[in-house]
Structure formats: C-alpha cells, structure tokens
Amino acid sequence: MKLPLHLVKPLTLAVAAAAALSTAHAQQPALKVGLMLPSSGTFAALGDAIEKGFKLYVQEQGGKLAGRDIAYFKVDDESDPSKATDNVNKLIKRDQVDVIVGTVHSGVALAMARAAKESKTLLIVPNAGADAITGPQCAPNIFRSSFSNWQPGYATGVIAAQKGYKRAMTITWNYAAGTETVKGFTEAFEKGGGKVVKDLSLPFPNVEFQALLTEIAAQKPDVVFAFFAGGGAVKFVKDYDAAGLRKNVPLMGSGFLTDGTLEAQGAAAQGLITALHYGDNLETPRNTAFRNKYAVTYKSNPDVYAMQGYDAAQMLAAGLAATKGDVKQQDALVAAMRKAQIDSPRGKFTLSPQHNPTQDFYVREVKGNYNVVTGVAVKALPDPGRGCRM
C-alpha cells in the first residue's frame, strides 16, 4: 500500500527515532550489581532472603531496571569483618560493579562503607544497622534500606517501659549491632522510668549461653532484652525456654530475635513480644501482593530481610529512573534516591538526610509461625544520624 505523501516523512522520522532509542538501550551494557552477603555461617539464611527479595523486585520489572539488564556478581562475606575489605574490593576493583548491595553484619558493613566512600561506588545496605553508616561514616553515595541499630532497640525500650517493667538486664553479642541496639533500648527504657541493671554479652557468633542464663536466673530482673539474629537467635530462644526462665523473667527483643526463625524455634518462641519495622500480617494491598508473589516464586514466606532486599532494589530503581539507567550521573541518581518515597511492604517510607529510613516500628507478638502486629511502638521514627556531616 502506498502512503499519502504528507504521512511518509513524519512516519519515517518516528521509525528512525524509535530505532535510535532501541539502539541506545541495546548499547547500554547490563548494570553490574555486586551482592556482598553471607551465604555461610549464622547469618546465611538472612543473606539468602535479601538476595531473593532484591531479585523479586527486579523480576517484577521484567528483569530490567531503567531499561537495563542486570548482571549479578556475588561474594560470600561469611559475616567476617577481617575479610571484609578484601571481599568488597573483589567487587569494586576486580568486577568493577556499578552498585554494591550488602550486607547483613554491622562489622562487615563498616568496612564496606569505608571502601565505598573512598571509591565513590554506590552502596545500598539492605540490613546491617551499624549506626556510623548513617552517622560519622555517612556519604552521598551510601544508602540504607533497613534501619540503624539504635532504631529497633529504642522502639523496644519504649514498649518495655510502657509495660511497667522497672529493672532490665540485656544480653547480646559483643559487636556493633549488639552494643548499639542495647544502647537504643537503654535510652528509651530509662527515659520511660526503668533502669538497666546489667549488660551481658558474649563474642559473635558464640552460642554458649548457659553461664549467662544462670546469671539472669540469679538476678531475677523484671525483663530481659536480647539482640540475637539468625541461627544464634534460634539457639538463644530455645535455651532461654529450656532453662525454665520464661515463666519467671519475661523475654523481649528487637524483632530479629523471632524473624525468619519461628519454624526452628517452635513452642519456645510462642508469645514473645518484640518491636520491628515489619510484621508478617500487615494487611495492606502492597504487603499482601509482596507476600503472595514471594511465596509463589520461592515456595517460602518472606521475612524482614527479604523485605529489605526488595526495598533496596526499589531504591536503586528510583535513582536509575532519574538518569535513564546511567550510574555515572551520580549526583542526579543520588538526588532522586534521597527524595524518593518508597512504597514498601512495611508501609511507605522516606529517607532521613543521612539516607536511613524514617519508618514506623510495630509491636509484634509471636503466634504460630508469624510475628503478628498488635500495635505501633513508635510512628515515623527517624534515625538520629548523630555525627553525620554531608
């Protein structure tokens, strides 16, 4: 069929423009995403959930972000801070990734943040709460999709004080996540009229709790606050129950104590009360869709770690959308990430000026295999971002 002459020229131009656009996309190589997560050790399941969450969001976008295919480069960080600098440099120097997503362990993440700041590589932290990352070590190219350690500790302290407990003991691993979470708990608990009478700790990732449980039994505080996660949390909750302590000394914790762990903890965890920025039964269309998609894709239920991985991908997508996938335009990419409102399964959140989520912290109670939300501990809690200068 012959087209009328007045249509031939615009049509030719439109076809040429479309061809040019598709060539531009075709010319963009795959975006290199470095996943530095634990796939061995006590936090292995947490790393796995983060990766699954991240990839689920990418899959929902047709396997591309801002029109670019994604190539994954993976390093098992073993939750070992002594190997962290070498490990992160495999991604930065050897693989020359465009963005790093990681990790779980605060000590490992601190080394990653140092390397990312020096090399100006975009870093999105999908779990590790080390306060310094959005504090003294903050940087324009470093973001977090999870929490600062202070936040869930503080939220749990608020609930413990509201329950009228007066004397608390704390127990945790002796590294940044443990000590900073306990600090947050103590700040809120003592503001609410309580007193922390003793802090107990053991080295990460030890799980020989017996001597410390004996000390708790001897002191008989009104409540125990614990930070443990992953395999260590499973063992601690079971040991606490087996020692017969639950009848006499209520156990509370930041929600990591019971997240992703309930099948293994079984009866020992029933009724435990924690605070976290996620709960399994948040009945919003966004959370329901996320949980259904995750369950269908992976034949398992998502947890807080999966949700944080999913949101790390959402944050990256928000930045890439502003630069049409070009990570080299870092100022524009960072500006878009800073002002994004993330439509998260946890509820919508924005970022603090130091790049940490300002978010609601929920009260949760363990019922069966779920952390069921029973209220809000603190609404829109910002990370204080103490010491950040940017």
Among residues 113, 128, 249, 317, the one that binds ligand BEZ under rule CB under 6 A: 128
Closer Cβ to ligand BEZ, 112 or 313, answer by number:
112
- Which range touches ligand BEZ (CB under 6 A), out of 85-93, 124-132, 316-324, 364-372? 124-132
Residue with Cβ nearer ligand BEZ (141 or 308): 308
Which residue from 104, 116, 245, 378 is in contact with ligand BEZ, where contact means CB under 6 A? 104
Residues 155, 129: contact at Cβ < 8 Å?
A: no
The span of 59-67, 98-106, 161-169, 272-280 binding ligand BEZ (CB under 6 A) equals: 98-106
Start-to-end Cα distance in the chain: 63
What 3 state SS string does the chain have? CCCCHHHHHHHHHHHHHHHHHHHHHHHCCCEEEEEEECCCCCCHHHHHHHHHHHHHHHHHCCCEECCEEEEEEEEECCCCHHHHHHHHHHHHHHCCCCEEECCCCHHHHHHHHHHHHHHCCEEEECCCCCHHHHCCCCCCCEEECCCCCHHHHHHHHHHHHHCCCCEEEEEEECCHHHHHHHHHHHHHHHHCCCEEEEEEEECCCCCCCHHHHHHHHHHCCCEEEEECCHHHHHHHHHHHHHCCCCCCCCEEEEHHHCCCCHHHHHHHHCCCEEEECCCCCCCCHHHHHHHHHHHHHHCCCCCHHHHHHHHHHHHHHHHHHHCCCCCCCHHHHHHHHHHCCECCCCCCEEECCCCCEEEEEEEEEEECCEEEEEEEEEEEECCCCCCCCC
Take residue 304 and report the two structure tokens written for it: 């807080």
CB of 236 vs ligand BEZ, minimal distance in Å: 13
When the beta carbons of 106 and 186 are compared against ligand BEZ, the nearer one is 106
| Residues 135-154, interacting with ligand BEZ (CB under 6 A) | 149
Which is nearer to ligand BEZ, 105 or 277 (by Cβ)? 105
Q: Taking the complex as a whole, how short is the minimal distance between the CB of residue 177 and ligand BEZ, in angstroms?
A: 3
| CB closer to ligand BEZ, 171 vs 229 | 229
Instruction: Candidates 91, 229, 273, 275: give the one binding ligand BEZ (CB under 6 A).
Output: 229
- Indicate whether 37 belongs to the interface with ligand BEZ (CB under 6 A): no
Task: Report, in Å, the least distance between residue 362 CB and ligand BEZ.
Answer: 16
Q: Which is nearer to ligand BEZ, 104 or 216 (CB)?
A: 104
Candidates 91-99, 100-108, 312-320, 346-354 — which segment interacts with ligand BEZ by CB under 6 A? 100-108
Cβ atoms < 10 Å from Cβ of 203: 10
* Residue placing its CB nearer to ligand BEZ in the complex, 221 or 279: 279
Structure tokens at 137: 């070590």
> By CB under 6 A, how many residues form the interface with ligand BEZ?
11
For ligand BEZ, the closer CB: 79 or 287:
79
**256 lies in the binding site for ligand BEZ (CB under 6 A):** yes
Among 106, 121, 148, 314, binds ligand BEZ (CB under 6 A): 106
Indicate the length of the chain as a whole number: 390
Which residues is 359 bridged to in the sheet? Answer: 381
Are 316 and 54 in contact, with CB atoms under 8 Å apart? Answer: no
| Residue in 34, 129, 153, 194 binding ligand BEZ, rule: CB under 6 A | 129
Q: Shortest gap between Cβ of 103 and ligand BEZ (angstroms)?
A: 8
Rounded to the nearest whole angstrom, what is the least distance from the CB of residue 125 to ligand BEZ in the complex?
Answer: 9
Residue from 52, 55, 105, 277 that binds ligand BEZ (CB under 6 A)? 105
Q: Which stretch binds ligand BEZ (CB under 6 A): 101-109, 154-162, 212-220, 351-359?
A: 101-109
Would you tell me which residues interact with ligand BEZ (CB under 6 A)? 104-106, 127-130, 149, 177, 229, 256
